[in-house]
Each structure stands twice: as structure tokens, then as C-alpha cells.
Structure 1
Amino acid sequence: MTSTAAPERRSTTVPLDWKEVWFTNCPMVSANNIDQELGWCREEFKKIGVEYAYFRHAPENNWYPHYIHNLDNLIRFGGLYPPIHVNADIRRTVLLGATWVSEGGCMAVRARDPFFRMEDLKGKKIGISKSLNTVKNDWWRIQEHMGIETMLRLHDLTMDDIELVEFPYPDDWYDKPEMLVPPMNNPSELWMRRDHKHDLAFRPLETALLNGTVDAIYTQSKVFQHLQEATGRIKMIEDLSRYPDWTIQVANTPAVITCTEVMADEHPELVVAYMKAMVKVGRWANDNKRAAAYILNHQTFYRDAEDTYQGIKDVDMVPSLSAQNLECIKIGKDFMVSHGYIHNDFDVDEWARPEFLEKAAEEVLAEEWERRSWSKLPAGGGLDVEGTRLG
């Protein structure tokens, strides 16, 4: 009998050096995924004499710091569930900002099956994945679980009305030698090595759906959805992103920015430098959505650049800690607590530290005023925003 036990895994990192800052991101909508091509964040760190690089640029760093944040000098911009897990159960981190994308989730079925409503799935089999990798957070499963439960509830159904079929999988690509060498200068290099828009490792339940093992699976709205529909073999019978209720749109989103508490408390200038770049890049992206979409298409799972544009055209690319973003984060965290995906609860409002974003915004505004004032004042003019009311 073949064992399903996960192999022994461990995370490795470079020695700590506060003259270095590492970044990592997920292949989703964020200012960081745009900046990795623009290089504005690297410029901000050069101003203060600090090297800024993708964390996999150093061969000593394997993939796991992206999930367990065991590099003190790492800043992460990515999916919601792993950083919630880290702050709850692994180490204290700081929430710096968030980008909200309404992606909700869809219920996917085979195109020619006679399923047209969620009610048609009563008594049917719905798949759910289970990572055997115990080092990292099982974020795939969490969003599947949350999406399935929500869609059933919207149609007066419960988990008892369907047969949930679990699919354990190794989730071990992080340890494959070809994914560890050579070092990468940019996250886009990862996707150059994998045809990520058609790699079923990113859609582990699709094969089970197409071969008839299950009758339906969860998939993300817009991202993944359009790639799957384009095959002509899959259709969607429910889509949470079409509902006016924004509280059911949490699907490993919002994308959030986190750093370690030690970085925030002992080296706040590093955090501010990063957030300044995110504000600048976010503003640029808001003004140049099609250009931003072209860049994001290299890393995300939208069908193509036009599909990416349609997905981001209404997204505010400047990260924020708005009340709505924080409430969405709380919804995701509360689901993880109530369903046993994290052991410890925490206060999201205390996790959030808005002072870094506020300081970054002040510095961006001051720099912009100084740059513009040179054409209007004899010797230019700085802007003292502290204690000053503008307007």
C-alpha cells in the first residue's frame, strides 16, 4: 500500500542582514506584481543604501518563507490566508495594506451535464483538495471550503445536501530541484518555467471533474474561470462575484501586505520605503490600467491581457487599510478560526498598523509638491505636511 504521508520538509534562509530587504508576492492583482517590472521599489531602497531583491534571488532561501515568513527582513504582498495563519500560529507580523479584488468564486461543472442551478447538485459529488504539505498553509482548500459553503447557503442547501469528496495531493513542487535553481531575479521567471495558465498543478481538481470522479468543483471568479470556460468543456452554474453582497467575495482576498513585527518596530524606515513605492506604483497603475494589465498578465491567471484589464479596471491599485478591506480580512480570519484552519484567534484591528502607509503617503505628497513647486517658486519649495492643513 502506498503511503500518503508527507515527506520531511524544512525551510532554509540566508543569514539576517538589515542592509537587505527581500520581497515575495503571489500571482495576483497587486502593486508589487507591477513594480517587479517597473523597479520603483528598488529605487526607494537604494536611496537609503539598502539592497532590495526577490527572496528567491538567494539560493539559500527556499520557497517556504513565502508561507511561514521566517525571514525577518521579508515583505510579503499576496493572498490573505497564509499571512493570517502566520500571525495566528507562527509569529507576530504587521498588516500594512490591502488590495481588494472582487473574485468570490464559481461552481464549475462539465459543460454538457444537466446541471444549471446549485439545487441540481443536491446529492451530487463536489470535490475539495487537501494539501499533504504540512509546512505551509492549505490556502487552496480554505477558499474552496468557504466558497462551496457560501454557494450552498445562498440556495438553502448545506454540506449535508452534497457529498464532499476529498482529494489529497503532495503539493511538493516547492522542493523540486528544478524549482530551486538557478536563483531568480524576478518572480516572473518562475512563470517562464511553467505554463501557469495551463498547468493543472494550479487547478488540482479539474482533472477529477473532467473524468467524472466528481460532479462539480469550486474555482475562482474571473481568474481561472475564463481559462476553464475557454476549453469548451466546463461551465459555471454559480458565480459569487455577481452578487451585490461584498461580504461573500472573500476568496484568499484581499491581497495583503505584511512584514515581521521586528522589522516594523526596529527598522520602520524599511517599511516606509516599501510602502512609498506601493503608493507610487498603485497611482501609476490606476492611471494606466491597460499597461498595468499587460504587466499583470505575465503572472496572473486571467485568460489574456484584455481579460486582465476587465478584471482590474475597477480595482484601486493603491493599497489601503480601509474599513471595508479590514472587514473582509476579518471575514476570512473568522472563517479560518471557526473551521479549524488556525488554532489561535487575534484582533485584526490590532494587527493593522496604518502609520507606515500614512507616513509613506505624506512623503510621496511632499516629494510631489517639491517637484512641482520648482516651476512656480524662485528656489522651489518643500512641503511641511506635519501639523499643516492643506487647502
Structure 2
Amino acid sequence: MPTTAAPPLDEVWFTRCPVPTATGIAAARGTLSAEFAPDGISVRSFQDARGALDERHFTHAHPALFREGGNVPALWARSRGGDTRLIGLTWIEERQAVLVRADSGITGAAQLRGLRLALPRHEISIDFWRAMALHGLAGALGLAGLTLADATLIDVPAGSRERGQWEAELTALQEGRVDAVYVKGAVAVESAQRYGLVTAIDLDAQPDRRSRINNGTPRPITVAQSLLDEYPTVVDRFLATLIEAADWASAHPGEVNRILAAETGSGPAGVAGAYAAGASLHLDLSAERLGLLAEQEQFLRTHGFLPEPVDVRAWADHEPLRRAHDLIARRTPTSSADQENPS
């Protein structure tokens, strides 16, 4: 029997976290809209819609959605039966650190033994903040051969979101209710300065990136399975636009920093302090990155954040990214020298 053609597509949606993403760069430059405008396809963002962040940013419950953001919600959605596919991973060194009070005398991981470590609690569908702090603290303790059992984890209710990122934990640290706090990203850099706190452990300085596996490392790009099934060329073109955005970002670090200041809600100092110069937004699904994400999945499952296991390698679909690279190669003009001297 003939296969019924998919109806014309008039819009796709994307959502990204307030962190460095190829999606955010492409959106800021207008290249996503430009890619699909000739086809009459609108490209819309959950972040640009009015009102609070759409819950589907976490659940991925939208048939025409691309998501580039933290892996905790992405894995959680898949664990709950969400019909998504993993089509890319990035790895951005993003200022992960453990902060302490300036007069604490704490300068290394071994000194975390027996201390009170802040563990935030947010009343949201998937508490990625809590998962992020837990894995960050586990990574810091692991540098000294310690585990979470070697410290005391102190619940810190996050309260109102209007207080901002990390504010509840940093207030608890400043007031002496906890001894150390895990933080990440540009806003955390500025907040630490504002509170007069110092870095005891710089996870970014560690040679083994496994100590930095967390919500954003690696960071997945996921897509609704229905969109991939019915409109594969749309997925390929979306990914190709992200690849081109990553290429552009590598060549324009100054302009990227201005975009990141807007994306992250921080100032130039926060961006400069959080993200390594020359950081790459390039996508891949290498065995290394999939292995790192599989370690994150195991950690989240062990600590009760995932209701069911996620087979990361089976979740990944390598074909869209391969086709996107092929698409870019076909679009790239061949020089006359190349035509005369084919390899």
C-alpha cells in the first residue's frame, strides 16, 4: 500500500538552556529563521514566547521540537517514555567549581571530608539543580578518593525563582549554614564575587574530564521522533545550521561573547570567567561523548532521578548528523583548483 505523505509543515520549535549552545548562536544570528523561511516554515522558540518557560522544555512533549540543553531533563524525559532521539552532543567547559567562605581555609578536595555541603531543592518536575549539585560535589570529593558518604549533605530549599540562580545556596554559605557550594556557569562567577566567596576546587582545572560529567557536560541535542520520521530533511537542515553556527562561533569569539552575555543573563566578566577562550560548540556523537553521557545516566539512575534506565547508545541516531555534514559539503562551492586537481 502507498505510504501517506506527511502534511505540509508550517512551523518548528526549539528550546535551549541559558548556556552556550549552537542553537542560541544560530537563533541570535537569524540563520535558523533564514534557513526555513523560503519554505514557509516558521521557527519559533519557547524562550521567546510570552510567559514562563514552557514545561515542554523539560518533558519534550511537542511533536515538532528541537531541544539543546541540560542532559538531566533530556534523560528524564526519555526515561519516562518520551519519544525522542539523541542527534548530537556538545562539550563546553563551563566553570564548574566548589565555593567556600574566604576565611574557611579550605583549599582542596580532601578538606571536604565531614563538611556540610549544600544540596538545593527546587519544586519543579525534574530537579536538575539538585542533580547538578549532587554530581558536582561527587566529582569534587572523588578528586581526593572520597564519596558523598564522606560529607554531610544539607538540604537548601531554593524558594522563589526570582531570587536568581544559586542565591539560596550562596546565602546559606555566607550565613554559615553550610560549608561549601557547587556552582556552574557565568551567573555563578558574578554571584561568587558579589558574595565575597572564593574557589576551593576548580573542577575545570582537572585533567580528567570525567570529574566534570554533569548536566551540561555533555550537552545533548534531542528531537521528537515524529519530526525525524516525517520530516527528516527538516532535521538535517536544522542540524546543518547548527554546525555552521558552531563554525562561525569559532571564528568570531568577541561576537560570541556578546551573544552569550544575552543568553546567560550575565555580564562580560561572568562570560569571560565561565567559558574558556576558543570553546567549541561543535556537535558530535563520538563514542567518547556517548560514554560520558552513559556515565551521567548511571549516576542519575543510582540517585533516583530517572524512573527507568536509558540505553544512551540505542537512543542516539547518528544518521541525521551524518546527513547534515553531507548537506553542508554539497552546499560548499568547490574551488576551481579542487575541480582541476580532484583528490
TM-score tier, shorter chain, comes to: 0.7 to 0.9
Distance 1:67 1:83 in 2: 7
**1:304 corresponds to which residue?**
268
* CA positional deviation for 1:159: 2.8
* Distance across 1 between alignment mates of 2:79 and 2:159: 24
Q: Distance in 2 between matches of 1:320 and 1:46?
A: 27
CA contact (8 A) 1:104 1:250 kept: no
* 1:241 matches 2:200: no
* Identical residues among aligned pairs (%): 26
What is the identity, as a one-letter code, of the residue corresponding to 1:69? H
Aligned match of 1:35 in 12, 17, 26? 26
Structure 1 residues 301 and 49: alpha-carbon distance in aligned structure 2, compared to 1, 3 A threshold:
closer
Partner Cα separation in structure 2 for residue 202 and residue 213 of structure 1: 15
Partner residue in 2 for 1:362: 326
TM-superposed CA distance for 1:224, in Å, is 4.1
Tell me the equivalent position of 2:4: none
Q: Which runs of 4+ in 1 moved over 4 A?
A: 56-62
Separation in structure 1 between the aligned mates of residue 300 and residue 112 of structure 2, nearest angstrom:
25
Structure 1 distance, partners of 2:289, 2:51, is: 35
Structure 2 unaligned regions, length at least 5: 1-6
Residue matched to 1:122? 113
Report the Cα offset of residue 335 of structure 1.
Answer: 0.8
Q: Measure, in 2, the Cα distance between the counterparts of 1:257 and 1:342.
A: 19
How far does the alpha carbon of each residue in 1:29-78 deviate from its partner, in whole angstroms, 9 at most, with x for none? 11111112111111111233211111255559962011111111111111
Return closer, same or farther for 1:354/1:154 CA change in 2, 3 Å cut-off.
same
Matched, 1:316 2:280: yes
**Residue number in structure 1 paired with 2:45:** 54
Alignment match, 1:329: 293
Q: Deviations over 1:320-371 (max 9, x none)?
A: 21222212211211111111110111221111112111111111111112xx
Question: Any conservation in 1 of the 2:95–2:274 contact (CA below 8 Å)?
Answer: no
* Equivalent residue number for residue 19 of structure 1: 10
Q: Which has the higher helix share?
A: 2
Question: Are the aligned partners of 1:106 and 1:225 in contact in 2 as well (CA < 8 Å)?
Answer: no
- Does residue 1:145 correspond to 2:140, yes or no? no
Q: Is the 8 A contact 2:186 2:270 kept in 1?
A: no
Structure 1: which 5+ runs fail to align?
1-15, 174-193, 382-389
Question: Are 1:287 and 2:261 counterparts?
Answer: no
Q: Is the 8 A contact 1:240 1:248 kept in 2?
A: yes
- Give the corresponding residue for 1:267: 231
Contact 2:97 2:199 in 1 (8 A): yes
TM-score by length of 2: 0.88
1:208 aligns with 2:176: no
Query: How much does 1:26 deviate?
Result: 0.4
- Using the alignment, how far apart are the partners of 1:72 and 1:318 within structure 2? 25
How far apart are residue 162 of structure 1 and its match?
2.1
TM-score by length of 1: 0.78
The residue type equivalent to 1:257 in the other structure is I
Other structure's SS at 1:91 match: coil
When residues 357 and 130 of structure 1 are mapped into structure 2, their CA distance, relative to the original with a 3 A threshold, is: same
Distance 1:109 1:168 in 2: 19
Once the 2 structures are TM-superposed, how far is the Cα of residue 207 of structure 1 from its aligned partner? 0.9
- Aligned-residue Cα RMSD (Å) equals 2.6
- Aligned counterpart, 1:105: 96
Is the Cα–Cα contact under 8 Å of residues 99 and 199 in structure 2 kept in the other structure?
A: yes
Which stretch of structure 1 is more off in the superposition, 96-105 or 124-133? 96-105
Between the aligned partners of 1:309 and 1:363, the Cα distance in structure 2 is 36
Aligned residues: 333
Deviations 1:257-315 (A, max 9, x none): 11111111122122112111101111111111221122112122665168438724332
